[in-house]
């Protein structure tokens, strides 16, 4: 099953009891999450949607909550994600999952999400065998072009299929899969640049070939690359300067956060090797995009040297927590992004307020 079929099932109000969202495309993960949110009436979202980060030996408690009848009727959705792809699931967690899959709640849909799960682990094998698996693989050029056409139609803008495919081709990134070198389109990147194009062409009802000149993705790649390099170098003031410049240019906060998380995921692989850090990662479908469009080998290599393995894992978890907070309608996501950069560069544990004795430095322009 692909994301399209998953979203269609939600819209028809016929979701399965348990899903396993599996694959590297984080944009598609977010699209599926938005579809879950949209499937719930506004007045029920506070009570009928639960998102949590997986913790070893606590899964049984999470699943017990799924058996509770929703206060406002309808259906409850429980989303369980883990920046380490359930690597630390215990025997107790396996047993809890096995019991739930044998007798799922009639009132809930539970969604597990993983980016590069180790398919040798029996917890993952159980999900793949018993849950509805949704493949979150990067779209190829034609599929991405169809997605772009639908996205623009929602905004009241038309585009010819050939032009949509030409635009999608500009956002392809190569990765490695079990079938060799593969190419997929990064939808986060493409959507960000198309949004800028729509702002630059207010009132436009059709995109034309000449509009391609306004897509400045490669300049943005360089700017985000500078932010990642500063974070990798543990240069806090420079990283905050770069972050604030990107935010001032209206760069997508979701894209910035995605790139920061991807930096530390790639640094972990660079430090320990893909197989030893994550086991044998999932590499099915059209191919896993092991390098995002803003990923630079140099930045990951530097981060692998300047951060310990524990710090890299902590940074990945902090990026995931920031992502959850931004999705929870945090009023000022800029503060969250600046705090995240401070946390990972300084090496502070998450969970508490910013210490008064160690404030986030102002940028050089503000000093």
Give the DSSP letter string of 122-167: HHHHHHHHHSEEEE-PPB-HHHHHHHHHHHHHHTT-B--HHHHHHH
Question: What pTM was estimated for this model as a whole?
Answer: 0.62
Separation in Å, CA 240 to CA 222, 245, 246, 251: 16, 8, 10, 14
Beta bridge partners of 111: 19, 79
Give the DSSP letter string of 242-282: HHHHHHHTT--HHHHHHHHHHHHHHHHHHHH-HHHHHSSB-
pLDDT digit string (tens) for the chain, length 367 residues: 888 888 889 888 889 999 999 988 888 888 898 889 888 888 777 788 888 889 889 999 889 888 888 766 678 899 998 888 998 999 999 999 999 999 999 888 999 999 888 889 999 999 999 999 999 888 888 888 888 888 888 888 888 888 888 888 878 765 444 334 456 887 877 887 788 778 777 778 888 887 776 665 555 556 788 888 899 989 999 899 888 888 887 777 777 888 888 888 888 877 765 433 333 333 343 333 344 444 556 788 888 888 888 888 888 888 888 887 776 655 577 888 888 999 899 876 554 444 433 444 444 444 4
Query: Which domains occur in the chain, in start order?
Result: 3-135 (3.40.50.300), 139-215 (1.10.8), 216-367 (1.20.272.10)
């Amino acid at each position: 099953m692909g994301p399209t079929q998953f979203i269609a099932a939600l819209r028809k109000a016929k979701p399965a009891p348990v899903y396993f969202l599996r694959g590297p495309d984080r944009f598609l993960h977010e699209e599926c999450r938005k579809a879950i949110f949209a499937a719930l009436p506004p007045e029920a979202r506070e009570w009928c949607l639960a998102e949590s980060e997986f913790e070893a030996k606590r899964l049984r408690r999470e699943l017990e909550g799924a058996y509770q009848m929703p206060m406002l009727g309808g259906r409850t959705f429980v989303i369980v994600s883990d920046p380490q792809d359930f690597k630390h699931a215990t025997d107790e967690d396996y047993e809890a999952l096995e019991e739930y899959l044998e007798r799922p709640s009639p009132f809930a849909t539970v969604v597990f999400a993983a980016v590069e799960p180790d398919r040798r682990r029996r917890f993952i094998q159980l999900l793949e065998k018993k849950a509805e698996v949704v493949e979150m693989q990067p779209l190829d050029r034609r599929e991405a072009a169809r997605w772009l056409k639908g996205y623009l139609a929602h905004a009241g803008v038309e585009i010819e299929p050939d032009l949509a495919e030409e635009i999608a081709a500009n956002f392809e990134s190569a990765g490695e899969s079990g079938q060799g070198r593969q190419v997929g389109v990064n939808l986060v990147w493409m959507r960000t640049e198309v949004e800028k194009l729509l702002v630059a062409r207010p009132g436009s009802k059709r995109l034309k070939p000449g509009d391609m000149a306004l897509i400045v993705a490669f300049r943005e790649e360089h700017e985000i690359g500078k932010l990642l390099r500063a974070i990798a170098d543990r240069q806090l003031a420079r990283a905050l300067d770069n972050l604030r410049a990107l935010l001032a240019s209206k760069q997508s906060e979701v894209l910035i956060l995605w790139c920061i998380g991807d930096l530390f995921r790639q640094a972990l692989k660079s430090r320990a090797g893909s197989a030893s850090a994550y086991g044998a990662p999932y590499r099915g479908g059209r191919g896993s995009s092991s390098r995002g469009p803003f990923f630079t080998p140099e930045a990951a290599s530097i981060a692998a040297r300047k951060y310990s393995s524990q710090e890299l894992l902590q940074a990945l978890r902090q990026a995931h927590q920031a992502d959850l907070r931004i999705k929870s309608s945090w009023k000022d996501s800029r503060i969250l992004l600046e705090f995240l950069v401070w946390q990972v560069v300084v090496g502070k544990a998450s969970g508490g307020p910013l210490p008064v004795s160690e404030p986030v430095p102002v940028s050089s322009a503000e000093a």
